Structure 1
Amino acid sequence: MKSTQPLIDTHLHLASEQFNEDRRAVIERAIEAGIAAMVEIGYDLASSHAAVALANAHPAIFAVVGIQPNHLHDLPSDWIDQIRKLAAHPKVVAIGEIGLDYYWMKSPPSAQEEAFRAQLALAAELGLPVVIHSREAMPETIAVLRDAARGPGVMHSFSGDWTAAQECLELGFYLSFSGPLTFPKSAALHEVVQQAPLERLLIETDSPYLSPHPHRGQRNEPSRLVYIAQKLADLRGLSLAELGPQLWQNTLRAFPRMAETLG
């Protein structure tokens, strides 16, 4: 499947070992499918360094750096300074993915919130947006954001209902949708896409995870962003040709540093 409109995959993990054998081919397939830019997301120090390296090596790739709540153990004492230094790279467009995860609960809620708030403060200091990870912790995530941050920012792979979506929108955040949007039983997500302002919607693959229908259960890759874009277009009663330019502008507003390169 190919898009005639250039699209941006706002969240993926190309540095994953699942791409070690064919990373270059995956990037080439994405570009051939109409994916004009990709945002490589860090989740710990190693992946944040790798994200910057990928962005440095590929014109179409940008980076986001940060510590995800499932990767808080064994951090060095200077971890926030390391993220600050990485964020100085001109192709780093946000701090993330950061937030709360009460599904895996690999760190206690207090430790998760402390790291979350520290990185929200760093993003504010640097004038960068944030990319938010929230799993089984949407009310708690929104409470922290209401207290410590306002947009711009992105709710990664949004999985909440319309009530949660409204709260995120009121805080100035964009809602980003991934493979589950294409699943027939995702009625709550379909409602959010139909109700939310079109100018606040983004799309992502979260590759290598969350592959869309009809590739569910397979390793995901950025070329499959087109399936997500098409589903979003269908839900809004638009053609992909009509939707594509809107998604492009939404992404550049969400990540102003990208706009400096992509216009």
Structure 2
Amino acid sequence: MMLIDSHCHLNMPELAARLPQVLENMAQAEIGQAIAISVDRQSADEVLALAEQHTNLFASVGVHPEDQNSAEMSVDELIAAAQHPKVVGIGETGLDYHWCSGDLAWQHARFSTHIQASNQTGLPLIIHTRDAAADTLRLLHENQAQQGVIHCFTEDTAFAKAVLDLGFYISFSGIVTFRNAQQIQEACKYVPLDRILVETDAPYLAPVPKRGKPNEPAYVRYTAEFVAQLRGESMATIEAATTANTYRLFSKLPPLTRQP
């Protein structure tokens, strides 16, 4: 069996500078594929270039909610970029009230733009939400969002239920392995097996036992192993489920027919 890292930032300097080793580590850990995530216009070009160069890497297109000064992408621009065969998702998008405050209408507008692009392309939303659960749900409802994933889940079980009721998926990062992450762990036990994804968010948030070190796709195996133990399920069950779920959500992602 294999795993997929459903969310990483391979264009970041910590990983890009040693990409051959990162890819070799992925292969050794039996991480078959990884989705490299865009956070702005420049990174969208960078992750797509990586995806074009490596058969087991794929990309998203989108603008992160954190930086108000990031150049916006229109619905039409997102739709055009999404036509590339290796672009499999829209985002990273969403709301961030932890780092941003004041009048956040610009953030709401940016999120709504991405939701519209997702609805029109049929590609899933890759959603970042931090300290903004209520408005995240409100905008998903108002824009009739059709499909997506809450990446790097950090909320509670009530929010998980609301997201699941929308038909969305939930992705767990290395944070779920942290000792002080009881709320996230409870949510992880609650989420149905057919809605769970795993990710690294590399180079950030390395799971135990690599916490404090630069993260990389190979380490998603530690997160998956922890999730299996937490839920009382076998590692084979988690590998099979998270892989199947990733392919179901990211329908442009071509399934591997054999080990990488």
Shorter-chain TM-score: which interval? over 0.9
The answer to which of 145-154 and 9-18 deviates more is: 145-154
More deviation in 31-40 or 105-114? Answer: 105-114
Question: Matched residues, percent identical?
Answer: 37
Q: Aligned pair in 2 of structure 1 residues 138, 230: CA closer, same or farther (>3 Å)?
A: same
CA distance in 1, matches of 2:101, 2:27: 36
Aligned partner of 1:157 in structure 2 is 152
Alignment of structure 1 residues 14-53 onto 2, 5 Å: 14-53=10-49
Report the TM-score when normalising by structure 2.
0.94
RMSD: 1.6
Gap regions ≥5 residues in structure 2? none
Of Structure 1 and Structure 2, which has the larger fraction of its residues in helix?
A: 1
Checking the alignment, whether the CA contact within 8 Å between 1:12 and 1:41 is kept in structure 2 is yes
Determine the structure 1 residue equivalent to 2:135. Answer: 140
Partner of 1:86: 81
Query: What is the rounded CA distance, in whole Å, between the counterparts of 1:106 and 1:74 in structure 2?
Result: 16
The offset of 1:113, in angstroms, is 0.3
- What displacement does 1:79 show? 4.9
Distance 1:108 1:44, change over 3 A: farther
- Give the C-alpha shift of residue 72 in structure 1: 3.7
Name structure 1 gaps, 5 residues minimum. none
Quick check: 1:249 aligned with 2:244? yes
In the TM superposition, residue 261 of structure 1 has moved relative to its aligned partner by 4.7
User: Which of the residues 196, 202, 212 maps onto 1:207?
Assistant: 202
- Higher mean C-alpha displacement, 219-228 vs 99-108: 99-108
C-alpha deviation, 1:21, in angstroms: 2.4
Deviation at 1:106, TM superposition (A): 7.1
SS at match of 1:64: strand
Partner Cα separation in structure 2 for residue 197 and residue 151 of structure 1: 19
Runs of 4+ in structure 1 over 3 Å off: 78-82, 260-263
What is aligned with 1:178? 173
Match of 2:53 among 54, 57, 60: 57
Q: Pick closer, same or farther for the CA change 1:74–1:161 going to 2, 3 Å.
A: closer
The alpha carbon displacement at 1:97 in A equals 0.5
Report the Cα distance in structure 1 between the residues aligned to 2:143 and 2:230, rounded to whole angstroms: 33
Q: 2:222 aligns with which of 227, 230, 241?
A: 227
Q: Aligned partners of 1:134, 1:69: CA distance in 2, in Å?
A: 9
CA distance in 1, matches of 2:140, 2:12: 29
C-alpha separation between the residues in 2 aligned to 1:47 and 1:197? 33
Q: 2:108 aligns with which of 113, 124, 127?
A: 113
The 1:72–1:48 alpha-carbon spacing in structure 2 relative to 1, beyond 3 Å, is farther
Which letter does structure 1 place at the counterpart of 2:179? P
Deviation at 1:99, TM superposition (A): 0.5
Measured against aligned partners, the alpha-carbon deviations of 1:12-51 in whole angstroms (never above 9, x if no partner) come to 0000012232111111111110100000000000001111
1:75 Cα offset (Å):
1.6
The answer for the alignment partner of 2:97 in structure 1 is 102
Rounded Cα–Cα distance in structure 1 between residues aligned with 2:188 and 2:103? 33
Residue 2 of structure 2: aligned partner:
6
Contact 1:73 1:107 survives alignment (8 Å)? no
Cα 1:139–1:106 change in 2 (3 A) is: closer
**What secondary structure does 2:94 align onto?**
strand
TM-score (norm 1): 0.93
In 1: Cα distance, 2:237 partner to 2:24 partner: 25
